A and B are shown apart, each in its own frame.
Chain A
């Protein structure tokens, strides 16, 4: 639910915004920002590797390409999943970077505090989806190799 849909921000669980908590958020933001930058660099490098693999794959393609022939189906599936994983990871990194930028000012700015927490929840959602798809693919690959052996 977005902020606009909620009528008001009412207290519910009795949790308080202590100075200690706000300090924790600011400290987390200080380490989170460089982690997200490094993660972005990692995503870019892996994107280049993926492009290189695609170029090798396309250059080896023959004119009469059949999806169900040889390992073509496996290669096409692998390529699609790699692109999907890269997309999920980058979305997580972008949301994380914005979250930590907002959280850096959370001690003095309430809008930044809310927006930072919202983005952090989004970052965790994208990373969780990345993890689920990654594990699913890993298990499918193991099953594929088991069936083909």
Chain B
């Protein structure tokens, strides 16, 4: 086999006999991935803890409006915390498998890690779509509110006391009738 790429350089490798070794560079990148994926997992866990605590705090007001709070909790915990929890689980297993693979030399761990990455990306897509819907709704309502404010500023309706004397008199006469 010709040495055409850095991956093939100086490797004692025969394609007809065995599989290619991944080499130092790829293993280095996988170690970096494991390191940073673990930090992402910690961030996700911290966010989930803050989020769940903030929502469970609503239970204090359960007596006032029980149904509203149960619906709020169900929506926030299942629609938002569940995908985030899944993402944190996949990220954790991805980092754990990639971290262990170079130490044990088991290629099947790397293969499993890449399977986890794919699951991470699917979950990430669900979260990104939800965030897009949320951002779109926020933009729409912000636009609506700003339009209403602009309309109110353009059409300045004078107070009754600020109107002309005649108009006020006429109003008073009508009221009197």
Contact = CB atoms under 8 A, between A and B. Distances in A.
Interface residues of A, number: 52
B11 interface: yes
Contacts of A128: 36-37, 39-40, 43
Interface in A89-123: 110-111, 113-114, 117-118, 120-121
A65 interface: no
A34 to B, nearest CB: 7
A48 B115 CA distance: 35
Interface string A12-38: 111111101100110110011011001
B43 A35 contact: no
Interface stretch (B44-52, B60-68, B156-164): B44-52
Interface of A: 1, 3, 6, 8-18, 20-21, 24-25, 27-28, 31-32, 34-35, 38-39, 41-42, 45-46, 48-49, 52, 110-111, 113-114, 117-118, 120-121, 124-125, 127-128, 131-132, 134-135, 138-139, 142
23 contacts: A9-B7, A9-B10, A9-B24, A10-B23, A12-B23, A13-B101, A13-B103, A15-B105, A17-B22, A18-B19, A24-B115, A35-B125, A38-B125, A39-B124, A45-B135, A45-B139, A114-B29, A117-B29, A124-B37, A127-B36, A131-B40, A131-B43, A135-B46
